Amino acid sequence: MKATKERRKSQACRVFEAKIDRSHLNHQTTEHLKRLFLEAKWLYNHILNQHNVFDMDYKLSAVAVKVKDTFETRTLTHLSSQMKQSLIKRTIDNIRGLARLRTKGHKIGALKFKSCVNSIPLKQYGKTYKILNQKYIRIQGVKQKLRVNGLDQIPMGSELANATLIRRHGDYFVAITTYQTREHTTPPLKTVGIDFGIKTPLTLSDGIAIKYSIPVGKKLRRLHQKLSRCQFRSKNWYKTTLKLEKAYAKVNNIKKDIKNKLVHYLKNNYEVVCYQDENIKAWQRLWGRKILSTAIGGIIGALETKVHTPIEVDRFFPSTKTCSRCGSIREIGLDERIYSCYSCQLIIDRDLNSSLTLETEGLKQLGMVRTEVTPVEIESSTLGLDYLNSIPYVKASSVVETGSLLALA
């Protein structure tokens, strides 16, 4: 066990999600899966109702379930012992995590009872689940082998670990944890500053403006209107709610895909990435729908962990007001898209000036100085436009050259 843990520390951990094909499920399997998640909810709420959670027996076969003002005993016939053990261990880990936060001074509450549990850990490959081939898997206790889509994305030679059975929007998924040999990539010795905004979500200091937006479509509006006419908790209400969840999930998956590809581009092309700690919650209060159609918060969170050297500039640093050439500060309105410096007569795009200023300020934290972009680097950055424009819903373009009077047009 220790040798396995030491080996996995040097490997890359990736999770792949496979979708269970519901059209190939018989009635018995469908009812079995529903019962699994129902029993998981019973067990979770029973765990929280115990005085000593740490001494719970994972082989228990019945739990007390609250029905209105009384408690009834329900038998656990579908959850295996390993599933019960994993659910108990996950709950204990959550309690210990809250305790650690409390010791650090965070204000926390207790775990709450749930009306549904939508994930069940499958802790051991070969026991709780097993991959039969590229199309089928088996889950402990389920007699029918399950046809799934998405197993072909797992690389050959990957070491399979635990998995999680997930219920989402009426569909079932299996999230499989794998370990592969870590690929050590060395990015170019380049630095970049990123300015996040509303009109242009991302502006890079090497002159690339990235725009994208996933607006709320007519389908979502119609579903909201239909839901408002349905009786609360009726059959039509549940059906419409499920359709609404699936529609939002589709939009969120598009935003997640854009976020991952943009962060991948930044990680592979720049070693040092400088950005500002933006107050996204305040942006949502001011420009709620526009922020909803982007993934700025997710990009900022991913930059902290994905890129090689992330540099976060203080939130209150006046990047928009500061001249990127001489460092002088002047007030600028929200409607001014061109920054004009009164000291050095610099005329530059507002967002480009901010990204250059953030790069300069971020490199100061490393004891480095920003260098002017060479023509070769400008040409190489424009080559990245082809990749960025190949991403669905993304439109990338070059910002006008510094000092060009065309910026005023």
Q: Looking at residues 282-300, what average pLDDT do you find?
A: 79
**177 and 196 belong to one structural domain:** no
Q: Rounded distance, CA 90 to CA 63, Å?
A: 18
**265 and 164 belong to one structural domain:** no
Query: Dihedral sign, CA of 193, 254, 129, 180?
Result: negative
**196 and 333 belong to one structural domain:** yes
Q: How many domains does the chain have?
A: 2
**20 and 151 belong to one structural domain:** yes
Tell me, yes or no, whether 186 lies in a domain: no
Strands of 189-255, DSSP E? 191-196, 202-204, 208-212
Residue span of the structural domain in which 355 resides: 191-408
**103 and 227 belong to one structural domain:** no
H or E segment at 176? Answer: strand 171-181
pTM for the model stands at 0.83
**237 and 325 belong to one structural domain:** yes
Residue type, 215: P
**130 and 228 belong to one structural domain:** no
The last residue of one of the domains, among 139, 154, 181, is 181
**208 and 167 belong to one structural domain:** no
> Is it the case that residue 279 has pLDDT exceeding 70?
yes
Tell me, yes or no, whether 8 lies in a domain: yes
For the segment 129-172, what is each residue's pLDDT rounded down to a tens digit? Answer: 999 999 999 999 999 999 999 999 999 989 999 999 999 998 99
> What are the backbone dihedrals phi and psi of residue 65, each rounded to the nearest 5 degrees, phi first?
-120, 130
**71 and 198 belong to one structural domain:** no
> Is it the case that residue 188 has pLDDT exceeding 90?
no
The last residue of one of the domains, among 128, 149, 181, is 181
The last residue of one of the domains, among 181, 202, 235, is 181
How much is the pLDDT for 131?
Answer: 96
**199 and 165 belong to one structural domain:** no
Tell me, yes or no, whether 364 lies in a domain: yes
Name the least confident of 175-189, 196-210, 227-241, 395-409: 395-409
**84 and 225 belong to one structural domain:** no
**372 and 230 belong to one structural domain:** yes
